[in-house]
Amino acid sequence: MRTVALTGGIASGKSAVADRFAALGIDIIDADLVARELVEPGMPALDEIVTAFGDGVLGADGRLDRRAMRARVFNDNDARLRLEAILHPRIRTTMRQRAETVDSAYGIVAVPLLVEAWPHYAWVDRVLVVDVPREVQIARLTARDGVDRALAEAMLDAQASRERRLALADDIIENAGSLAELDAAVAALHARYLALRDDAPTEFTDRD
């Protein structure tokens, strides 16, 4: 099974890239969606989170209040590490299981914090980074999320640096241009991945 990991900084356009690969018939396994599934009512991860953080992280409907949880861990490193210890091993296991059963020519695992989680994802064959300049990220965050510049800067600083992401990349999509340019970049990479899969599979690197 051949797998491409898709990552990028916040507001880089990872979802837009994933959507375009999906439109080309490629199976997408999204870490954020997997994380949501794992904290549904009745799931063991949610029970562990409530045990660790109390009922205050639940909404009136018994579901995880994601906003309350983010506020709880954002400035508390110990709390963040406790939450990650509960969720991240489960996410990684689920992602790999699903990657091994994709029906498309290759699969894409979308992992926003790939660099931070490396080498737990070293089983992927290639890493695709969606890249934009920091100022573009800040502009998108302030426009999209309504945050001020100081908070946008803090959100960026909480992630791995742009340089670390690019150092891990096998392929890069520059996503500061038009939607037409993004369409063309995804189409070109899709063709390359099909060629690598069909004609030269050894170019996919086993990272284990």
> Between the CA of residue 171 and those of 133, 148, 167, 195, 201, what are the distances in Å?
17, 32, 10, 15, 16
Per-residue pLDDT of the chain (208 residues; tens, 9 = 90+): 489 999 999 999 999 999 999 999 999 999 999 999 999 999 999 999 999 999 989 999 999 998 888 888 877 889 989 999 999 999 999 999 999 999 999 999 999 999 999 999 999 999 999 999 999 999 999 998 888 898 889 889 888 999 999 999 999 999 999 999 999 999 999 999 999 987 654 444 444 4
Overall number of domains in the chain: 2
Q: By percentage, how much of the chain surpasses pLDDT 70?
A: 95
Residue range 162-199, pLDDT digits in tens:
999 999 999 999 999 999 999 999 999 999 999 998 76
Single out the residue of 87, 109, 106 nearest to residue 189, CA to CA: 106
Longest distance between any two alpha carbons in the chain, whole Å: 54
Tell me, yes or no, whether 170 and 151 share the same domain. yes
Tell me, yes or no, whether 82 and 48 share the same domain. yes
Tell me, yes or no, whether 43 and 82 share the same domain. yes
Tell me, yes or no, whether 114 and 173 share the same domain. yes
Tell me, yes or no, whether 137 and 196 share the same domain. yes
DSSP letter for each residue of 15-48? HHHHHHHHHTT-EEEEHHHHHHHHTSTT-HHHHH
Single out the residue of 93, 125, 128 nearest to residue 110, CA to CA: 128
Q: Which pTM was predicted? A: 0.86
Tell me, yes or no, whether 118 and 200 share the same domain. yes
Tell me, yes or no, whether 201 and 137 share the same domain. yes
Tell me, yes or no, whether 124 and 206 share the same domain. yes
Domain boundary among 47, 81, 103: 103
What residues does 129 pair with on adjacent strands? 7, 172
Tell me, yes or no, whether 12 and 111 share the same domain. yes
- Give the structural domain span for 95: 34-103
Domain boundary among 68, 103, 138: 103
Tell me, yes or no, whether 117 and 197 share the same domain. yes
Domain boundary among 103, 138, 153: 103
First to last CA, the chain: 14
